[in-house]
Each structure stands twice: as structure tokens, then as C-alpha cells.
Amino acid sequence: MQARRPSGLVSGYFLLSLLLTLMNPTINVPAPTIRQQATTLAWQIVRTARLPFKTAQNQAWATVKLLTRMQSGPTQFAYIKDDRTRRVAIGERPAPATDKPLVVRYFDVEAGS
């Protein structure tokens, strides 16, 4: 017995979507909401750090809130460096950077770099 081909509805749908894409090539995709950013970051923390989701979600929300505050001006915050020492910094983030999702870049106001 020979395999059946998909019905004309599937190929018709494909042609319709292709036609709509060709007619409107610039489709505006809305920016992710703060909740979507926090959830995406939480899942990335779960995958890399092997933390429970609740802990990762708390860290993700804290990070997203910090980045939001840094957009408006200099913000004081603390973080743990690679050598496990705590560092208090005052920094700002003048423009959103496209960097690694788990790395936060900032301009250190105290050090001037």
C-alpha cells in the first residue's frame, strides 16, 4: 500500500502563509515582557547551574529588576565574584547590550570603566 499524500488543505495553508509573508515582509514581533525575560533567564539558570526552579526563578527576577533599575540611572548592587568574594558596586547600563544571557555587563561608576 502506498503512503497517502497530505490533503490540499495543508498545502493550501502553506501557500496562504507564504503569500501573506510575501505581501508583508516586515512583521513586527513584540519585545518580550519582563515576565517572559525572567522565565527564560530562570530556565537558563536551571540548565547551567543545576539549581531548583524556585531558586533560579528568584535569582532571575532579582536580575531582571536590577537591569530595569540600571536602565534609569546608577544603581548600587552587590554580587559574588568568581573567587567567591562579595563586591559592592555602583553601576549603570546606558543601553541594553546583546551579551550572554547569564552575564550582566555594566558601566562601573566608581571605577569609571
* Counted domains in the chain: 1
Residue 84 falls within a domain, yes or no?
A: yes
> What's the pLDDT tens digit per position in 10-49?
455 555 565 556 656 566 667 778 898 899 999 999 998 8
What's the mean pLDDT in 41-69? 91
The verdict on residue 2 lying in a domain is: no
How far is it, in rounded angstroms, from Cα 32 to Cα 99?
A: 16
Tell whether 62 is covered by a domain: yes
Q: Is residue 17 part of a domain?
A: no
Could you report the per-residue pLDDT of 95-104, keeping only the tens digit for each? 666 667 677 7
Range of the domain at 89: 34-108
**55 close to 48: Cβ distance less than 8 angstroms:** no
Is position 88 within any domain? Answer: yes
Distance, first Cα to last Cα, the chain: 71
